[in-house]
Amino acid sequence: MSLSKLPKIGCRYMCEVLDPNAAFLSVEPWGQHWGLSVALDGIAAYQYWISRMVMPIVFQWIEENHEEVYANIPVSSRDDIEKVIQAAFNIVKTLPAYEAGQAELKTFEARLASRTADTSLMNPTWAEISGRMREEMREVLTEESRQLAGVGS
């Protein structure tokens, strides 16, 4: 699925209700490595989530702040999504929540550098999905390696 297939008119976003199973590309692995289809499914699921959940929030915020967002956008560019999003982001960067987040980011980056950051609560759903996939791959590859070495079953 690509964003180009999702209708956006007058910088309003129109999309159907989120169906978590629709995110998968169902790439047939024939002719390709299975890992490629898994990677593409992961990318597609993330893109689907962004386009179906995050972007409607973005466009709602833009609508609620229409006058300020569009104040410096020429009429001829008001349906240019890049310009509208950039104008909205320029406003968001001046808001207290964003500024507080930037300050917290500096602290977090310092903790990452010193290996003291707690990332356990960051994106727990995606972390669990990724973790399960990695563990399953490790288990299968370890078993395959044992079988090829003549160890185990």
pTM, to two decimals: 0.65
Q: What is the largest CA-CA distance in the chain?
A: 71
Asked if 23 and 49 count as a contact pair (C-beta separation under 8 A), the reply is yes
What is the rounded distance in angstroms from the CA atom of residue 128 to the CA atom of residue 31? 30
68: amino acid identity, one letter? E
Residue 115 backbone dihedrals phi, psi, to 5 degrees: 60, 35
54: DSSP letter:
I
- pLDDT tens profile 5-31: 445 555 555 555 556 566 555 556 556
Domain ranges of the chain: 3-118, 119-153
- pLDDT tens profile 111-124: 999 999 988 888 88
